Structures are given as structure tokens and as C-alpha cells.
Structure 1
Amino acid sequence: MPFIDKTSILVENSISKGLTLFELNENIISTNIDSHLNNVDSHILINGEYSFIDIWLDIDNSDNIYGVFNDKIGKIQNLTINDKCLDADTIIKYDYKNFFIKFIYTKKINNKQHIVYYSINKNSPYHAYLVHFYKSPYICKKSRIDFLKYDILTNFVITYNDNIPSIFYFKLVNHKEELFSSIFDENSHTWSTPVQITSSKKSKIYLSVIKDIKNNYHITFAEKNNNKYYCKYLQGSFIDGNFIVLLEKYISKSSMCVFPNLISTHSKIYIQWIEYFNLYTSESSDYGKSWSKPKLNSLASDFYFQRYEFRSNNNIYNASTVFALKNYKIIL
């Protein structure tokens, strides 16, 4: 059966053992799902057509779902979702007649909030500011992480080490995307000078990053070679503010790699990607030192499946995106 090319948001609740599905179509629709994966009820959460670049949702340790939402007409709003109730408070206003906001993101940690997004001037559509908004009980500050050129705007990824965020993103260097990173300084409330990680001089798209228990970073993306996009894997770590690449290899060279994604669970790391509507998987049992031969996922071949932005507070899956069946079962 084919891959359904759409992205929804799936939030897993550790206390109730249920799920909340947010479908992004003509409206944003919220569906509560019980622990037996049965749909309980659905309702329209937000009217209007939006995609995953306009909304980011997360869940705290008390099963409270929160997030941030770009209404596309000048307001970025903090969201709090309780059952069928939605509270929306404007936290940032912007000039929507002259600017686009893309890939909105937020995280709340210990009464502190991080919001990150791309800000694009409509008169210069292939340039973007990577903007960070920081709020605590003592300070509220907006700063620019970087200014970048792009051909295809790709998601950034934020990871945390002792509650300090690091960001990974693509930026054009001599007309080719290269991977960059920066680290937030909680004392000065500023970001470090961005560091270039790759220098392959090849186009890149899609980005997935996770951090393991050894503080090593696992990174995958699609890199253009011979008019195809190969699945590329990097492993590295931050040393004195610099990102050191420890391992670099292609996981697959066979075809067109779409939506490469990393998942870590039960001491294994999985890289998954789509090739011509089929799901392929390679796995590692030694923290990314070696990878199995890519294989076609038979479960995904027999049933419809799709891509989900994934949030959970139970720490079973280390992932921000997953592929799952229509009954919400995660595919590994």
C-alpha cells in the first residue's frame, strides 16, 4: 500500500496512556485516542488551512499539551489545549504584509520558553532570518541566530543538553546547502557564532537530528549525488563549542531518498526514509558505528501509512518525527 504524503501531529500522553491526533487539512482537527488506539472524539481546534510549518505542539510531564501557532495574519500565539478547550494568547506580532513566518517552534523548560522560526521578507524570498525569542520570569528577548540564503527552505532541528538548546540548520554556501550549528548561552541570552559542519559542496534537503545518552549527535539528511538524493548519516559531538564530526557515511545510494528520519528506542537507532512511496529502514545496535543493509519495511508495504510530527513525555522514543500506520502504530 502507498505512503500517504501528508503530515499530522501525534502527541502521546504518558499518564492517560492515550494519544491526541492533530490533523492539518482545511481546519486543524483534534482527535482523542484511547489506550486501545480507538478514536474517542474529534472536533475542530482551529478554523482555516494550515500546515506543520505553521504550528508546533508539545507536551509537558503533567500531560499538558501546549504549543505555538502562526495565524499568518500578523500574530504568533501561545496555545494551551485542555480536552476540547483551546486558550490562545498572542506573544509576538509581526508585519504579515511584508514578512512570512515559517517553521514555528517552541519549548518550555522550568518557566522559560524558547520560540524559534524563520522570518522571510516577501521582497527577498530566498533569504531568511533565523529568529529566537526567549522569555523567562526575568527577561524577554528576541535575537537573530543567523541570516541565510536558501533554494528550498528546510526545517531546522533543536536539541537540548542540560536544558540548553543547540540548533542545526542548512544554509547556502557557494550555492549549495551546508549544515550549520549554534549553541544558546543562557547567561548572555545570545547564540554562539554559527559553525559550519559540512563542506561537501552538494545540495541537501530534509534534516533529522537526535542526541544519545553519550551526548553524541546523530544526523541524517538527503544529499544530492548523480541527480539522485542519497541518505547521508553523520555522527559527532560538541567540543569547546565546535562540532566535531566523528563518522560520516551514506546509508543508501540506491534511489531517491525522501523524509529521512532518525528514531532511537531500546538501545537501537533507526534511520527511515521514503523511496517511491515505500518505507526503507536501516538500524544500528552500536550507537551508529555500523548500520544494517537497508530493507523494505514489509508492514508498510501491506498497509497505508503516513508521516507524523511526534511528541511524547514517556521517553520511549527519541524522535521528533515518525512513520505510523493509520491505526497510529509506529513502524520500526
Structure 2
Amino acid sequence: MSFINKTNILIKKNNNDLYYFDLDKDIVFTKISNKTNTLISKKLFDGDYSFVDIWLDTNEKDNIYGVINDKKGKILNLTLEKDNVDTHTIIKYDYKNFIIKFPYTKHIENIKHTIYCSINKSIPLLANLIHIYEDDNIFIKNTIDFIDFNILSNFVVAYSNNKPIIFYFKLVDNFEELFVSIFDLNSYSWSNPIQITKSNKNKIYLSVLQDENNNYHIAFSENHDNKYYCKYINISLENNVLKINQESIISKDVMCLFPSIIKKNSTLYIQWVEYFDLFICQSDDFGMNWSKPIIDKNISNKPFIRYQYISDNITSIFAPIKHLS
């Protein structure tokens, strides 16, 4: 059996009900009841979508909300209550001349943060990383950074005292390097980007997890002589000052796909795909040392895919395409 290169979305609510969003021909959600194990399916949107077009999360009332690019000139806020979807337009764009990728949103009390990449079709290797701040009285749209790229990868947003912190790749001397920028809630502006890596090697597939000590555990794929190694970095940010605590190469095999960091109690795990198998390694000292990678045979023996899974301790997971419950 093997990995199927597809990413869906999985949300677990407080009552342990699972909401599974299949992104393919249309967006279809399936609710798996924790009490009865019954399945309820419903189509939300028509058309071809992938994980670069939609983002979902849950609010303090445990309702599902998110943002979607309809690919027809609108970025929409969406809410899912009692299994019904409601949408309204955040912003309109010229879809004949621009492409939108990786829409993201986070609602904290009465504040909404929306971030996305906007690409002018006439300059296809340059993205404008845009942030929209909304509260009851303010709507501010600004540019975090201009990102030139070889391959556009995802960005990751973390929060410190409700302040968004964004991690992303951009080219330096024609190589993707990792950057971070921090939002100021008083001035409604972003800091000058801070460069984290200076390896002169291309990078892709970013995963970031923040721990209780405000350290950031980062994993990505890095090109070494046309082999994509699994790379790990542990950093801290204090008063916008970067400190690199640890930097390790986890795996040196040919291709590391979709590395993902998971935290359980005081143990860190990194999962990734190589040769269509799922590999995993762990650290019991907050990323200072890592075990030898092994194949997760429980998953690799079945057809499996990647799921975006939003929580404080997980960025994404891999699971069998069937028997999800």
C-alpha cells in the first residue's frame, strides 16, 4: 500500500465528533458522531478545490469557521453551524489577472486576522503576502512582505499573547530561506522580516509548532544535492530578537514530503513521507536530540493521505483514507 498525494481537512470538536472535509471534485463534509458512530455527509461547495484554497478552524463556541477562495473573484468568510454553511465576502479581487493561494483566518474574540498570497499572473513567481485586520471598528489591509519563489510553499501563523507571528519562505540569492514577521497590535503593522536560515539551499513544506515555553519547533524539506532532507530547527523569539537553540538534519534519504511536527505531553514527533511510506522519529528533550527514523507500519500498510488537523499540539496528520473514525 502507499501514500496518496492528497490533503483533506479534519476537525475534532469538543464533544469528540469528527468533521471530515473532502477536497476534490466539490467540497463535501462528513460528520462522524462520537456517540452513535453514524455518518452524515453534505456538499458545501461545487468545483475543484484543494488545501491551497480553504482554511478551517473552530471558535470559542466550538463552531467551525474559515475562509475560502471561490476562484471567481471573492475571498469568503464561512461559518458552519448546525451543519449548515453561511458565507459572506471579505474582499473581491480581479480573478482574470490575479491568483489567490493559501487563504487563512483566525478569530480571537472580536478580532479577525485574514492572510493570503496574491499573485499577479503577469509576474507568476512573485507573491504579495497580504494581511487583513478586522475588529468592530477597524478594517486594515496591508502587505506583510513580497515573496519571490521557485515553488510557492505554505506559510504558518502562530500566536503569542493574541499577537500573530508568521513564518514563510522567500528567495535570497535564488534559494528559499525561512523568515518570520511579528504583528504589532498597537500600530496594526508588521515587523521587518527576520531571516532565520542562511543555508543557500531550497526549501519546501513548512511545519511550525509552538510550545508552552514560547519556543518554536520548525520542520521543512531542504534540498541537498537534489535530495530533500528533513530539517528541524528550534528557535525562540523575545522582543523580536531571534535565537536559534538547535538545528538538526533528521533524515538524509531522497525525498521528504510534508514533514509535520506533533507534540504529546513532553515528547515531540516528526512525521513525513518517503517512498510512499510514512516515517516517524521522536525527541524526549524538546528537540535537542532525535531518534532514528522508523516506518510507521500501522499507517504505511494501508492507503493513506494527509489531513490538516488544527490544534495546539498538531499541525497535520497522516491517516488511512478509509476507516477514519
CA distance in 1, matches of 2:204, 2:192: 23
* Cross-structure match for 1:158: 157
1:41 is the counterpart of 2:40: yes
Q: What is the Cα deviation at residue 137 of structure 1?
A: 1.0
What amino acid maps onto 1:9 in structure 2?
I
**Equivalent residues of 1:37, 1:327 under 8 A apart:** no
The number of equivalent residue pairs is 324
Q: What is the Cα deviation at residue 84 of structure 1?
A: 3.2
**Equivalent residues of 1:18, 1:37 under 8 A apart:** no
The SS at the match of 1:300 is: helix
* Cross-structure match for 2:124: 125
The SS at the match of 1:25 is: strand
Query: Structure 1's 137 and 28: CA in aligned 2 closer, same or farther, altered over 3 A?
Result: same
What amino acid maps onto 2:72 in structure 1?
I
Q: What is the Cα deviation at residue 37 of structure 1?
A: 8.7
2:323 to 324, 327, 330: 327
Q: What is the Cα deviation at residue 304 of structure 1?
A: 2.2
1:6 is the counterpart of 2:12: no
CA deviation digits over 1:211-249, x for unaligned, max 9? 001111000000001210000000010122022111101
What amino acid maps onto 2:13 in structure 1?
N
The SS at the match of 1:57 is: strand
What amino acid maps onto 1:327 in structure 2?
H
CA distance in 2, matches of 1:319, 1:167: 17
* Cross-structure match for 1:148: 147
* Cross-structure match for 2:300: 301
What amino acid maps onto 2:194 in structure 1?
V
Q: What is the Cα deviation at residue 56 of structure 1?
A: 0.5
CA distance in 2, matches of 1:35, 1:143: 42
What amino acid maps onto 1:25 in structure 2?
D
The SS at the match of 2:146 is: strand
Q: How does 1:23-34 map to 2 (within 5 A)?
A: 23-34=22-33
What amino acid maps onto 1:117 in structure 2?
Y
CA distance in 2, matches of 1:37, 1:70: 34
1:22 is the counterpart of 2:14: no
- Divergent runs of 4+, >6 A: none
The SS at the match of 2:48 is: coil
CA distance in 2, matches of 1:36, 1:199: 51
**Equivalent residues of 1:72, 1:96 under 8 A apart:** yes
CA distance in 1, matches of 2:63, 2:252: 42
Q: What is the Cα deviation at residue 116 of structure 1?
A: 0.3
User: Which moved further from structure 2: 35-44 or 95-104?
Assistant: 35-44
Q: How does 1:235-274 map to 2 (within 5 A)?
A: 235-274=234-273
What amino acid maps onto 1:282 in structure 2?
C
* Cross-structure match for 2:60: 61
User: Which moved further from structure 2: 163-172 or 261-270?
Assistant: 261-270
User: Which moved further from structure 2: 123-132 or 302-311?
Assistant: 302-311
What amino acid maps onto 2:239 in structure 1?
D
Q: What is the Cα deviation at residue 131 of structure 1?
A: 0.3
Task: Give structure 1 stretches of 5+ with no counterpart.
Answer: none
CA deviation digits over 1:36-95, x for unaligned, max 9? 694511111111111111111101232200001111111111101123311000111111
Q: CA RMSD in A?
A: 1.3
Relative contact order (C-alpha < 8 Å, sep 6+): which is higher?
1
Q: What is the Cα deviation at residue 255 of structure 1?
A: 2.5
* Cross-structure match for 1:135: 134
Q: What is the Cα deviation at residue 151 of structure 1?
A: 0.7
Q: What is the Cα deviation at residue 97 of structure 1?
A: 1.3
CA distance in 1, matches of 2:38, 2:204: 35
* Cross-structure match for 1:77: 76
Task: Give structure 2 stretches of 5+ with no counterpart.
Answer: none
Identity %: 51
Q: What is the Cα deviation at residue 209 of structure 1?
A: 0.3
TM-score, structure 2 normalization:
0.97
Q: What is the Cα deviation at residue 328 of structure 1?
A: 2.6
CA distance in 2, matches of 1:38, 1:276: 34
CA deviation digits over 1:105-136, x for unaligned, max 9? 00000110000000100100000110000101
CA deviation digits over 1:169-223, x for unaligned, max 9? 0000001000000000000000000011100000111100000011110000000
1:221 is the counterpart of 2:192: no
